[in-house]
Each structure stands twice: as C-alpha cells, then as structure tokens.
A and B are shown apart, each in its own frame.
Chain A
Amino acid sequence: MSLTLEEVRHVASLARLSLSAEEETLMRTQLSAILDAVAELSQVDTSAVEPTSHAAGEVAPWRPDEVRPSFPPEKALGNAPAEVGTSFAVPRIIE
C-alpha cells in the first residue's frame, strides 16, 4: 500500500473533505491502487524525452489587450448564496 492513513487524512483536509473511518480506509486502498498503476510508468526510460506538460494543442492564441463587456453585477451574483450590495457575502473569515 503506497499511501499511509495519515497521508489520506492530510489530502482530505486540503480538499476540505470530511471522511469517516471506513471511507479513509477505502480511499487509502483506491488511491494507492491508482498510484501503483501510475508508478508502473517509471519503468520506462524517459531520460531522452521532453516532458509533456500539456496534452492538447501546443499553440494557444493570445488575445489583444481590449476591454470586453463584463456581466452586470446582478448576473455575476446569480449563484451567490448571499449578497450585500453587489458583493458576495460569506461567513466571516477573520476574527
């Protein structure tokens, strides 16, 4: 098993996931299986291969520095759980 329970809890907390003890064990098994499968790739000698940092097209067009219309703030706030004026309102994040 390539992952410890401790690592599973750490990753879960970084992702803001709350896992039960059973889920932690399950994730440990499943994530380890994924890592083990990917680790098989390390058997290939890639010293002469340029890293692939992107799978899609290699050339992306740039755009000119021109201002385009934005959403009206009311539309931008369409999914907001709460709002004050035209700001998103979230539970207080500092004391």
Chain B
Amino acid sequence: MSVADFQPVIGLEVHAQLLTRSKIFCGCSTEFGARPNAHTCAVCLGMPGALPVLNEKVVEYAVRVGRALECRINPVSIWARKNYFYPDLPKGYQISQYDQPLCEHGGLEIDGEDGPRRIRILRIHLEEDAGKNVHDPGGGDSLVDLNRSGVPLVEIVSEPDLRSSSEAAEYLKALRDVLVYLGVNDGNLEEGSFRCDANVSVMRKGSTQYGTRVELKNINSFRFVQKAIDYEIGRQVELIESGGKVTLETRLFDPVRGETRSMRSKEEAHDYRYFPEPDLPPLRIPAGFVERIERELPELPRAKLHRFTASYGLPAYDAKILVGDRPLADLFEQVQAVYRGPAKKLSNWFLGELLRLMKEEVREVGALRFSPAQFAALLQMVDSGELSNNAAKDVFAEMFRTGRDPREIAQEKGLLQTQDTGAVGAAVDAVLAANPGEVEKYRAGKKQVFGFLVGQVMKAMKGKGNPALVNAALKTKLGD
C-alpha cells in the first residue's frame, strides 16, 4: 500500500480582506502600514458601550463575491459572536456569521486534473478581522497592534471537493483571480489580505467513508499550499499504514522545514459558544440590491478565458496568461481593436517582448507609457514590411521606455525599410550587373543562388530593403 492507494479529500477556507476604505463597523482607516494603533477608536478597541454600525460597501462587496461564485444570497442573515480570549481580540469575541451566513451553495469552475470541474462553495460569510500580535524573537512581551481589528473579511468555505494538492492550488488561484477581477481584494497572500486554511483527510480508494480531517493553518503562498497538503497527505497515509489513527486537530505548516506540526493549544479548540450578536439586528438585504450588483458584475476570468480562445482563436496557454491579469487582458483587447491583424501575432508580442520588459522594470500595466494605438501602429508597420521583426523589437523597447511614437523612433534610428520600388529596382539592377556569373547559374536552373542575390541586395540597401519588394523585383528582373 502507498499514497497511490489513497484518495485525498480537501476543502479550503479562504479569508479575503475586502478593499473598503474604512473598517466594517467603524470609520477607522483600513490603510496598511500605519503606526501601531493609529487606526483605532472606541468601537474597534472594544470599549464598553461602543456600538458597531455596518459599512454598506462591505455588504455590496460580499454580495458581489457571492453572486460571482453563483451563491444564493440570503435576504436575512444573522450576526453572531464567536467567543475566545486572545490579546489581539479586544472585545473577547469576534463579530462573525454562523448558522445563517449571507451567501450559500455556490461553485467555481476550475481546470481539474481530468478537465474542467466545478468546486462547490458551501458558504460565504462576513466577519471582522482581529488585531496583530508581534513577538520579539529575543523574548520579552508580546506587542499588540489593533489597526487590523475590525477590517472587513469574507470567509469563503468550499465543500471537500478537491482531490489533490494541485487542484487545491488551482482552485485557490481561480478564486483569487475572481476576487481581484471584482475589485474587492488585492489577492496578496504574502501580506495576508488573502489567507488560506486547508482541511485535509485521506480515504482508501473505492471507499465512500471520509477519513478524519486535519486543519492546516499558516499557508501563505501558492507554493506552500501544495507543499503543506502533500506533506499532510503523506503523513496521514503513513500513520494509517502503520496501524495508527488520524486525530482531529489543527496543524501549523512550517515553511522552513516543509512539514506540518500539531498546535499544542491549551485552549479547548472549537468551543466558541456562538450566539446572535445583540448589538446588531439581522442583516437584511433590501429589495433590488442583489439585482443591481449583478448588473454591475464585470466579465469574470473564466468567461474571459473562453472568449479569448473562442473569438480571438488564441491557444489556451496564451489566453490564460493574458486573462491572469485583468489590465493586461484589457490592454490586449484595446490594441487588437486598432490592430485587427492576427491575434496570435499580437499575443506573441505580449507574452514575449511586453512581459519581458515589464518584468525587467517591474511595471504595472497602468504605468505603461505607450498607448494601445502606438502598439497597434508598430505591428502594422511590421505587417506592411516597413519594419523587420528584429528592428520592431528595438523600436518597441524604445517606445516602452519613452512612450514616443513608433514611426518617429524607427525613422530616427534609420530602421524603416524602404517602400520605394525605384530604389529597390536600382539596387537589384546594380547587384545583377555586378554578379553576371550568379545570374547565369540561376537561369541555368540553379535556383538556390536566389538567396545569395537577395542577401546582396539587402546588403547594398544597408538592411532597409523591404524583403517582399526585393524578392518581387529580383524575380521579375531574372525573368521568373
């Protein structure tokens, strides 16, 4: 028996920060990086008597997420107190939602190992974030910063539908893309605005009985998700093989050692004594609210991907890279609308030169200096034979740096290929006159001499000969 004899069963819980300006229940700023406790007030410090007032943007963003993930939006949902003690939780409870969440029963299509799969979403609920504890590695007190206390979060819980660590990573990426497209989250795992816990269990293949699950925490990068889950699958299989039993517990992923270890918590885990929040009446969604938000939903990544392959005829690989960054996909469409040439050709420029230069100079699409029309004009110059492909790369690099017009750059650098048939004809005449022997050979049937003659003409024209014009002129003059 081995790992191959077991079926992993994985569900993910994702916490995503909603990009509001102010906190969920008070007017304190959500901006990252302020002095500790500079963004706090009576509400998010948990002062007695302070009352929460719900931020309307939070509801709007959460409904956006809910509908984008095909969930039912409950017209009435209930705020609940989740009670536990920790220094980063000033009230001694977190305001969350429990048995009646805002959104339920949705799904997200991903590319599974055997083609597209719909991963079911169990629920999405709203809650407030806790503060941040900092522990000086040298010992001493723990320091508490409550700037994050009360920052709005959605928790998105999937059904245990994922069957491998790579599917889990795929789901996580697809989910992040959706949230970023919706403009409600910045998708940043490293800074903690998008966090993931994984529930992992294994069962023998063919079995219908799920094994005992283990909750994995602290998975703050896409790479770690796969590593942590793979390690945990291996650990559980080994445990079962050797006659042991998996225990229901929370384990922490240690990225340095690449393993998970048990959180030895003195707390009675999961005894949160939820009860309805007395300070907030039920969350009621007004009539027409959901419909309005639905109308304003942008095209989602999955739909865009299908459209890029279907209507532009792009390979899935190209489409996936372009769609992975919404501004990049938008730019592609803007350039293509002007260019109107083969979309694959434009895609090659995006995946090649553009992304290469963007990587070197770490620029976002929004900070690019050239316009879509300039990019399109450059490609048209290549298609019409005014610029060789190599010269176009030079011009592009300059346009990327300066935002100057491609034709102007090409002229200045002397890269334009001449469109002057007279000049081409004269050069061809001169080359033929200078190489009577080669002309003789060609006419005698040695056609491979043609390439040599083209080369001579290009050389005489210092590389500015338009290859199509040169070919045509040579053929005519050689009597072909």
A interface residues (Cβ-Cβ under 8 A, vs B):
10, 13-14, 16, 53-73, 76-77, 82, 84-94
Q: How far is the CA of A88 from the CA of B134 in the complex (A)?
A: 10
CB-based contact A91/B278 at 8 Å: no
Q: How far is the CA of A56 from the CA of B38 in the complex (A)?
A: 33
Q: How far is the CA of A91 from the CA of B53 in the complex (A)?
A: 32
Interface SS of chain A: helix, strand, loop or mixed? loop
Which residues does chain B contribute within 8 Å of A87, judged by CB atoms?
36-37, 134, 143-145
B interface residues (Cβ-Cβ under 8 A, vs A):
20-22, 26-29, 35-42, 45, 53-59, 78, 83, 85-87, 133-135, 139-146, 268, 271, 273, 276, 278, 280-282, 284
CB-based contact A86/B276 at 8 Å: no
Minimum CB–CB distance for B31 against chain A, Å: 8
- Among A55, A60, A65, A72: residue with most chain B CB under 10 A: A65
5 tightest A-B CB contacts, nearest first:
A68-B27, A65-B57, A87-B143, A62-B56, A88-B144
Identify the closest chain A residue to B86 (Cβ): A93
Given A58-B281, A60-B281, A71-B42, 13 more contacts at CB 8 Å? A13-B268, A54-B278, A56-B278, A63-B55, A71-B40, A73-B37, A77-B37, A86-B35, A86-B37, A87-B143, A87-B145, A92-B140, A93-B133
- Among B37, B40, B281: residue with most chain A CB under 10 A: B37
Which residues does chain A contribute within 8 Å of B29, judged by CB atoms?
67, 70
Q: How far is the CA of A88 from the CA of B147 in the complex (A)?
A: 12
Minimum CB–CB distance for A67 against chain B, Å: 5
Q: How far is the CA of A61 from the CA of B85 in the complex (A)?
A: 30
State whether A68 and B22 are in contact (beta carbons under 8 Å apart), knowing that A60-B53, A73-B37 are contacts in the complex.
yes
Q: How far is the CA of A92 from the CA of B20 in the complex (A)?
A: 32
Chain A to chain B contacts (Cβ below 8 Å), 28 pairs = A53-B276, A54-B280, A60-B54, A62-B53, A62-B55, A64-B56, A65-B22, A67-B21, A67-B22, A67-B29, A68-B22, A70-B40, A73-B35, A76-B41, A87-B36, A87-B145, A88-B37, A88-B87, A88-B143, A89-B141, A90-B142, A91-B141, A91-B142, A92-B135, A92-B141, A93-B86, A93-B135, A94-B142
Which residues does chain B contribute within 8 Å of A67, judged by CB atoms?
21-22, 27-29
Q: How far is the CA of A74 from the CA of B27 in the complex (A)?
A: 18
Which residues does chain B contribute within 8 Å of A55, judged by CB atoms?
278
CB-based contact A92/B139 at 8 Å: yes
Minimum CB–CB distance for B18 against chain A, Å: 10
CB-based contact B143/A71 at 8 Å: no
CB-based contact A84/B40 at 8 Å: no
CB-based contact B143/A84 at 8 Å: yes
Minimum CB–CB distance for B274 against chain A, Å: 12
Which residues does chain B contribute within 8 Å of A77, judged by CB atoms?
37
Identify the closest chain B residue to A92 (Cβ): B142
Which residues does chain A contribute within 8 Å of B144, judged by CB atoms?
87-90
Identify the closest chain A residue to B26 (Cβ): A68
Q: How far is the CA of A89 from the CA of B87 in the complex (A)?
A: 9
Minimum CB–CB distance for B379 against chain A, Å: 42
State whether A63 and B276 are in contact (beta carbons under 8 Å apart), knowing that A10-B268, A16-B85, A87-B143 are contacts in the complex.
no
CB-based contact B56/A90 at 8 Å: no
CB-based contact A89/B45 at 8 Å: no
Q: How far is the CA of A56 from the CA of B280 in the complex (A)?
A: 9
Minimum CB–CB distance for B95 against chain A, Å: 13
Which residues does chain B contribute within 8 Å of A57, judged by CB atoms?
281
Identify the closest chain A residue to B100 (Cβ): A53
Name the one of B22, B27, B134, B281 contacting A59, with C-beta atoms under 8 angstroms.
B281
